[in-house]
Amino acid sequence: MAQSRLEKIGTIVTRTQGLLRSGAMKWDDRPLWYDIVTAFPPKEEPRYDRPAPNVTVRPIFYSEDKTRAEFYKNNRAQFMVNLADISNKTPTQHFIGIYQKLEAQGALDQERVFETAQELLEEKLKDLKHETITTTSVAAPVHSQTTGKEKTVELQDIFKD
C-alpha cells in the first residue's frame, strides 16, 4: 500500500495554508489550532527532520512522594475519591498529614511511623464517616405549630411529584 510522503514536504501549518489557499478546505472548516499557531508561531519550525533538542529534565519530587507511593502500594483501591470535591481532603492527604506530624515528633523509626499513621488514618476515616452519617439523616423531625405534634418527613415524600 502506498503511503503519503507529504509530511516531509512542509509543516502542518504550511499544508493547511495551502489547502485554504487552493479552496480544498473552507475558511470556516479550518482547525481550531490554526489561528493560534499563525498568531503565535513557534520559535523553531516544527519539521520532521529537525533534531531533538538536548534538554535535561530535572527530577521533580516532593518530600511526600515516597510516602504517597508506599501508601498506595499497601492500600490498593480501598478508597473511593471524588475528584470534583475540592472542599474535603482525600484519604491520602489525611494520611500524609498524619505521617508528617508523627515524623516531625521523631520518636519512632520510619516503619513504625508508617504503621502508626495507617492506624490513625483508619480511626480518622471512621470518625469522618460517622459524622457524615449523623449529619445526613433520611428522616428529619418537623414540628407542627398547629397541633404541637412532631412528625417525620421522608426524603422520598419530598421529591415525589
pLDDT (tens digit per residue) in 99-117: 999 888 887 788 888 889 8
Q: How far apart are CA 90 and CA 82, in angstroms?
A: 8
Residue 140 lies in a domain: no
pLDDT one digit per residue (tens) for the chain, 161 residues: 345 655 667 788 888 999 999 999 999 999 999 999 999 998 887 777 888 889 898 888 888 898 888 888 887 766 777 888 888 888 888 889 999 998 888 877 888 888 898 889 888 888 887 777 776 655 445 554 555 566 676 767 777 76
DSSP 87-134: SS--HHHHHHHHHHHHHHH--S-HHHHHHHHHHHHHHHHHHHHHHHHH
pTM above 0.75, yes or no: no
Number of domains in the chain: 2
Q: What is the pLDDT of residue 136?
A: 61
pLDDT value, residue 80: 77
Q: How high is the pLDDT of residue 23?
A: 94
Taking alpha carbons only, the member of 53, 52, 46 closest to residue 15 is 46
Contact at 8 Å (CB) between 30 and 16? yes
Cell numbers 535535561: residue? 56
In a domain, 58, yes or no: no
Q: 42 and 79: one domain?
A: no
Tell me the CA distances in angstroms from 59 to 56, 62, 149, one per residue in order.
9, 10, 67
Residues 7 and 42 in one domain: yes
Residue-number span of the structural domain to which 120 is assigned:
65-135
